[in-house]
């Protein structure tokens, strides 16, 4: 009986040591991965390349210049936008999408003396 108990205690200790070693190995792998990522970013920075996380975005000079031209096409006020049929269509499409997806629900107007936070 005692030998069985001693064996189970030994097995438990061995399992605990194995779990500890596995956690340590995982932590070391995470550190290595982070260090590698930091080195890549540093090398890219030294080479004058944008970081990898910016690959999804257009960062060229032409894109920047054309974006400046787009701003002048945008309405500068509500009154100006209200006259634009394209804007009206876009707003109606956005509002109907929000309603279809149950993004919000209408609530009753706030009673006098009540806090907006619901307290």
pLDDT (0 to 100) of residue 110: 76
pLDDT (0 to 100) of residue 22: 92
Mean pLDDT, rounded, for 98-116: 78
Residues 21-79: tens digit of each pLDDT: 999 999 999 999 999 988 888 887 777 776 677 766 665 666 665 655 555 667 778 88
**First and final CA of the chain: distance in angstroms?**
64
Residues 82-95: tens digit of each pLDDT: 888 888 999 999 98
């Amino acid at each position: 009986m005692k030998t069985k108990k001693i064996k189970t205690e030994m097995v438990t200790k061995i399992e605990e040591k194995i779990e500890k070693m596995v956690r340590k190995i995982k932590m070391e792998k995470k550190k290595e991965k982070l260090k590698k990522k930091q080195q890549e970013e540093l090398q890219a920075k030294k080479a004058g390349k944008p970081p990898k996380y910016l690959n999804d975005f257009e960062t060229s000079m032409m894109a920047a210049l054309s974006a400046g031209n787009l701003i002048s096409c945008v309405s500068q006020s509500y009154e100006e936008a209200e006259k634009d049929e394209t804007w009206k269509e876009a707003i109606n499409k956005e509002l109907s999408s929000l309603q279809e997806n149950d993004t919000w629900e209408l609530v009753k107007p706030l009673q006098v003396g009540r806090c907006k936070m619901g307290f």
